[in-house]
Homo-oligomer: A and B are copies of this chain.
Amino acid sequence: MARPRSFDPDDVLEIARQVFWRKGFQATSLDEITAASGIAKPSLYAAFGDKNALFLKVLDRYHDGILGWAERTLAQPAPAREAIRQWLTGFIPYCSGEKGQHGCLSINSATDGSLDQAEVRNSIERYNRRLEDLLRARLRGSRAEFRKGFDPDVTAHTIMVVHAGLLALAHQRPDSKQVKAVIDQVMGLLA
């Protein structure tokens, strides 16, 4: 009964994600997104709202992707240490410059002072909380695997810190062997 949309919004969010990831929120112009996607600005505005709203959708989608993967990986029947090692290991391409040197969109956004809109901060905070919840739950549930006095809560946060650190330092393209060595060393805390 009306003209149908000529594009799949999810495709456009994927393209927008790439551009935002590479250049950051502020430095990305909508013109670059229209150039990359072939979708003109009025269509973007109609479909997603303004630049802030578009970015928020991109970020939420990104968060959901990572959380989904974390859920799958951490739910494995393997020992907690191996599940977590595997989860961290999966980030190595993003930590070592193999998949570009852009690290993590969420961490890049968290450290971006220009993004002080409440909704973005909330999205990032919710994401971090859910990720840490997953780690904490896994460690608590596997307490039997660890020494007496092992603190799953502190350890979950330490892993969050290491994860963030690896992805923050991704921007200097460290060698993947070095990243792996750090993960191995930190896994020594899970005992």
Contacts and interface: CB of A to CB of B under 8 A. Distances in A.
- The majority secondary structure among interface residues of chain A is helix
Which of A103, A108, A114, A163 has the largest count of B CB atoms less than 10 A from its CB?
Answer: A114
The bracket for how many chain A residues form the interface is: 35 or more
Interface string A172-184: 1010001001100
Contacts of A174: 157
Contacts of A108: 111-113
A102 B116 CA distance: 11
Contacts of A181: 151, 154, 157
Contacts of A24: 26, 112-114
A113 B103 CA distance: 10
A5 B108 CA distance: 39
A124 B172 contact: yes
